[in-house]
Amino acid sequence: MDLEKKTLKKLLQSIGVKVPNSVVKRLLDTPVGTTLRGLSDALDSLNIDNDVYQLPPEYLKELDYPYVMVLPHREDAFAVVENEENRIKAMPEWKGVVLVARKTSETFIYKNVWLRNAVGYIIDNQMYLIIATLLFLFIVFAWPGLRVVCHSVMSALGIWVSTILLRRDYGGDILEKYCKIGKVVDCEQVLSSKGSLLFGLFRMSDLAFLFFSTQLFFALIANSDLLGYAFLLLLVGCCFTLYSVIYQIAVIRKICLYCMAINLMVWIDTIMFAFNRITINLQTPFVLILSGVVAYVTWYIVIHYLSVASQNESFKHRDSALYNKELFDWLLSKERPIDEVDDKYADVGGVGEDNIITLFVHPGCKKCKRVYKYIPELRKVAKVKTVSLASNDIALNEYCRKNHIDKTPTIVFNGRELPELYSVENLKYVL
């Protein structure tokens, strides 16, 4: 959903509307948040006039900027067009659909957007904040010496850069900044190549995160007599960085600035150690082993979190297809038909007669309480009948027996039972 967030954020900025990132995220956190319908609903929530048009190419020049061109065959399915250059770039993959948005006098105005974004950034980057706080407390209260402080800071920076790569490898993030510059800098090509997997198993992001995490934990808990092991670990790291540089420059002839930043940090840290007097304590490095174990556990937790978040995004993209009206109508047609219940047995409310939602509920049913919560919302878009099965009415009981309504809640839409794939709270997205 990150691409949709960026699209909505860019469109809002183009029409002069400032909205906190948390609000953008909330507006798109719906089953259709990854679709054009989701963008339109988000704009409606902000009281921004918007319309969707199917236009021939010759009419596109007559539209005022900005607007959104829909590019259905691209991963980033939307292009915000702010000028002629944007329009020409998107034209080859455009199929005729555009979304036009205009600010109105009733559009929501948010105050202190920068402050809310700053708070949101801190919340979204808790791990960085925790590491920075621990490092600060370590420096202030322990002060292990300038060499260890510089080593710890360099390790923390390495964790930050390697986490960006982890988010790309496990979280599905697309690297944009500094990753496609001219013909030489191309992070995606480097990180997607065979050589980026050391021994065919280990990604650069994995090794970098484990390396810098081990170094940081070791620096925080080891005494200065054991720091010789950190220097030995840096020398091993230098061997891998040489492979990385040679592979990028001589083999693939492309450069990843994030990978080069990691290499540079290892070299700088090694040089700082080399200019200091290092003693190697040949005792069993239990502290180093412990640091490695802690680093591994941390790495596992991070990649698990990123993988789950990525899967959730994939599920949202998949689920959004379910709310295509044609697909919904087809699935609904496969469900069993149910006779229309007489209005005298129901609490009737809502608008129109084209879409009729019938809810069979019972006061003692726990699941029904969740259904009750969405009735006011459904009544804004359809006619809703709420039938309580607590009644002992003979005719109603006969109706339920005839139509095999033996559980609550049972939800009926236009004479057919609602498919199990759909929930009552999201029914409004197919109306």
- Tell me the pLDDT tens digit for each residue of 345-386: 888 888 888 888 888 888 888 888 888 888 888 888 888 888
Alpha helix (H) ranges present in 91-227?
Answer: 113-124, 126-137, 146-170, 187-192, 204-221
Instruction: Give pLDDT, residue 277.
Output: 64
Instruction: Give pLDDT, residue 265.
Output: 93
What is the Cα–Cα distance from 366 to 411, expressed in whole angstroms?
Answer: 15
Q: Which residues contact 22 (CB under 8 A, 6 or more apart)?
A: 116, 117, 120
Q: Say which CATH topology domain 125-313 has.
A: de novo design (two linked rop proteins) (1.20.1440)
Q: Is the pLDDT of residue 7 over 90?
A: no
> Quick one: 2-102 is in which CATH superfamily?
Cysteine proteinases (3.90.70.10)
Cα–Cα nearest to 220, from 131, 157, 127: 131
More confident residue, 390 or 73: 390
413 CB burial (10 A radius; 0-12, 13-18, 19+): buried
Instruction: Give pLDDT, residue 327.
Output: 79
Residues of the chain with CATH 3.90.70.10: 2-102
Q: What is the mean pLDDT of residues 331-340?
A: 87
Residues of the chain with CATH 3.40.30.10: 336-430
Quote the percentage of the chain above a pLDDT of 70: 90
What is the Cα–Cα distance from 31 to 356, expressed in whole angstroms?
Answer: 21
More confident residue, 166 or 273: 166
Q: How many alpha carbons fall within 13 Å on the CB side of residue 282?
A: 0
Instruction: Give pLDDT, residue 176.
Output: 64
Mean pLDDT of the chain: 83
Q: Supply the CATH classification number for the domain 336-430.
A: 3.40.30.10
pTM of the model: 0.64
Q: Which of 83-92, 236-245, 324-333 has the highest mean pLDDT?
A: 236-245
Q: 112: pLDDT confidence band, cut at 50, 70 and 90?
A: confident
Task: Please report which helix (H) or strand (E) contains residue 78, including its range.
Answer: strand 78-81
What is the 8-class DSSP label of residue 393? -
Q: Which residues contact 297 (CB under 8 A, 6 or more apart)?
A: none
What is the 8-class DSSP label of residue 74? S
Six token digits for residue 299: 């790495």
Task: Answer yes or no: are the C-beta atoms of 303 and 166 closer than 8 Å.
Answer: yes
Residues of the chain with CATH 1.20.1440.130: 125-313
Instruction: Give pLDDT, residue 319.
Output: 66
Q: Is the pLDDT of residue 56 over 70?
A: yes
Q: What is the mean pLDDT of residues 53-74?
A: 83
Q: Which residues contact 365 (CB under 8 A, 6 or more apart)?
A: 408, 409
